[in-house]
């Protein structure tokens, strides 16, 4: 579904991402891990068009999208969440989910589906997402007034509401407690079961090792390992580079 080929992004003399080759297969959950400064978020920004690569290509569904603008990538099916929550805090929970559907609008047909003859189905879908995120009872609350964990869930719902088949989740467990992380685990699995493909960027190793089908590891902008969670955990180079310990499960 997504292919990064020889992808690089340099900031002056700093090689934030360096000749990265990575493939995300349709229907999988791929974890992308590495220490702070390893290039994970830069990779997400290259995939979504926030940064232009110094070299290399980004391909989505067989199409070269390297030169596309961020909004164009959203329109063809790539959605994301952010490390630092970026909800519309002055809008309600329901309005945040509804606003995310705008990328589905295509001319008159899209307008009709969202606002006229198809509005009922669109609203039902939005309500269904709120139920999925356990936020239906707070649909009329301003997003900025939600608890932190609830804001994290709303970001996930907003990405899902876009209808994108590929979701990039940038540290969705950041700041969550153990119970919230376990809940997030189940929601990520459910999204995959609904047909989404997920690239998960995360520091919480227990979540990554439990939920991901494969894991890729970055260090200083380069991929140093890739494989199943078990294979990555057993890799001595990964243990040394990522944590400097004999375990990658904490």
The domains found in the chain, sorted by start residue, are: 1-77+164-185+196-250 (3.40.50.300), 84-163 (no CATH)
CA distance 102 to 164: 12
**Three-class DSSP labels, 231-249:** HHHCCHHHHHHHHCCCCCC
Other Cβ atoms within 10 Å of 64 Cβ, number: 12
Using pLDDT thresholds of 50, 70 and 90, give the confidence band for residue 246.
very low
Strand partners, 197: 166
- What percent of the chain is modeled with pLDDT above 70? 89
Residue 166 and residue 210 in contact, taking contact as beta carbons nearer than 8 Å: no
pLDDT digits (tens, 9 = 90+) for 81-138: 998 899 999 999 999 998 888 766 665 455 555 555 555 677 888 899 999 999 999 9
User: How confident is the model over 161-182, as a mean pLDDT?
Assistant: 93
pLDDT digits (tens, 9 = 90+) for 26-76: 999 999 999 888 999 999 999 999 999 999 999 999 999 999 999 999 999
Mean of the per-residue pLDDT values of the chain: 89
Taking 50 as the threshold, does the pLDDT of residue 249 lie above it? no
pLDDT digits (tens, 9 = 90+) for 196-207: 999 999 989 999
């Amino acid at each position: 579904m997504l292919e990064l080929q020889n992808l690089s992004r340099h900031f002056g003399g700093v090689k934030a991402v360096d000749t990265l080759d990575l493939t995300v297969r349709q229907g999988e959950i791929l974890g992308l891990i590495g220490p702070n400064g390893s290039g994970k978020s830069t990779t997400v920004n290259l995939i979504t068009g926030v940064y232009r690569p110094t070299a290399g290509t980004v391909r989505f569904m067989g199409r070269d999208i390297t030169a596309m603008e961020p909004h164009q990538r959203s329109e063809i099916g790539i959605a994301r969440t952010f490390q630092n929550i970026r909800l519309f805090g002055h809008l309600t929970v329901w309005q945040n989910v509804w606003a995310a559907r705008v990328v589905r609008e295509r001319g008159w047909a899209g307008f009709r589906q969202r606002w006229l003859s198809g509005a009922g189905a669109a609203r039902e879908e939005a309500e269904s997402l709120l139920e999925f995120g356990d936020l239906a009872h707070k649909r009329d609350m301003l997003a900025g007034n939600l608890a932190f964990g609830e804001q994290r869930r709303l970001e996930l719902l907003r990405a899902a509401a876009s209808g994108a088949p590929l979701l990039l989740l940038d540290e969705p467990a950041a700041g969550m407690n153990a119970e919230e992380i376990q809940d997030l685990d189940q929601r990520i699995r459910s999204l995959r079961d609904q047909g989404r493909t997920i690239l998960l960027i995360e520091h919480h190793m227990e979540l990554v090792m439990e939920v991901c089908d494969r894991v890729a590891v970055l260090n200083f902008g380069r991929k140093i390992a890739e494989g199943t969670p078990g294979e990555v955990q057993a890799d001595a180079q990964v243990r040394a580079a990522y944590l400097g310990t004999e375990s990658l499960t904490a």
